[in-house]
Every structure is written in structure tokens, then in C-alpha cells.
Amino acid sequence: MARASEASQSSANWASNEPGSGGLSHLDDHGAAHMVDVSEKVATKRTAVAAGVLRTSAHVVALISTGGLPKGDALATARVAGIQAAKRTSDLVPLCHQLALTGVDIDFTVGESEIEIIATVRSTDRTGVEMEALTAVSVAGLTLYDMIKAVDPAARIDDIRVLRKEGGKTGRWARP
């Protein structure tokens, strides 16, 4: 039971960052968007883990696993795409800070008719890396879809979420 209380307190800490409009740090008192000034924050080790799922057919998963897709090695291509996406997050998400990433890992768990995509992103910086992890998962999923759409146009990418993050003054957070 103490663990649920800790998770609740941790979520409260994450939700109460720098008050702006409604407590959202990217909005000023008038509701206008702005990039948060992190110049006064101390650089600390930051880690975020995100995941998502590509849902397809068992036949397509078998093609991916055996290298039978016409476009080539889908998992290797998606891994590189996810890493590249993490590095380019600030170019894609308007209010994201440009960060010096120290590591990006993209892993896959292959199921019968789905592939889970897991991204772990690390940095020593003044703001978190959860957007980089989410972007890595999203683009890896899009790349997998691109590589299988000819054999399964009904495939879909689902359940993209942050699993856990740590670092900075608010410490650790994990999805309950």
C-alpha cells in the first residue's frame, strides 16, 4: 500500500511543475505557449523509458522475424529510425529543448501478432528525456508500419506511453 502512496505523491510532484496557466509549465499566466527557461536548473542524469505496440497479423510477424519482407530487415531499420528520431525530437516538437543525449536503446519484444517497441533514452542535462523516448517509439513504430503496409495495411500502432522516468528535482516516476 505504501508503494501506491509513493506513486501518487510522485505523480503529484511531476504534475505541479512551475505554475503557469492551470499549472502547465509551457503556458504563461495568459495561456500563451512558451519554451520553459531551464537555465537555473542543475544538470542531472536523466532517463526515460517509453513503449508502444505494433499490432499486425501472425503471418506478418513471421515475415518480420524471418527477414521475409520485400523492404528488408524491418527491426534493424526501425531501431535506427528510433535512435535518429530521439536525436531530432526538438526539431519535431515545438517547445522541446535541444538535448545532448548520452544514450538511446531501442528494443523489441516479438509476440504472436504484435511487436512491442521499447525506447530507453539517457542524458545528463537540465530537463527530462521523456519526449525523446516517446518520439523514438513513435518513429520506430511508423517505420515498422511503413515496411509492412504492403502486406498488412490494417496494421496499427497502439498504446504509446512513458513507462518510467527519473532524474532532476522530482526524482523517479513509474507508471502504476
Catalytic, out of 105, 107, 146, 152: 146
Give CA 17 to chain center in angstroms: 20
Binding residues: 95-97, 131-132
Kindly list the domain boundaries of the chain, sorted by start residue.
1-34, 38-174
How much is the pTM?
Answer: 0.84
CATH of domain 38-174: 3.30.70.640
Model confidence at 23, pLDDT cuts 50, 70, 90, reads low
Alpha-carbon radius of gyration of the chain: 18
Q: Is the pLDDT of residue 28 over 90?
A: no
- Indicate if 37 belongs to the active site: no
Segment 126-171, tens digit of pLDDT: 989 999 999 999 999 999 999 999 999 999 999 999 999 999 888 9
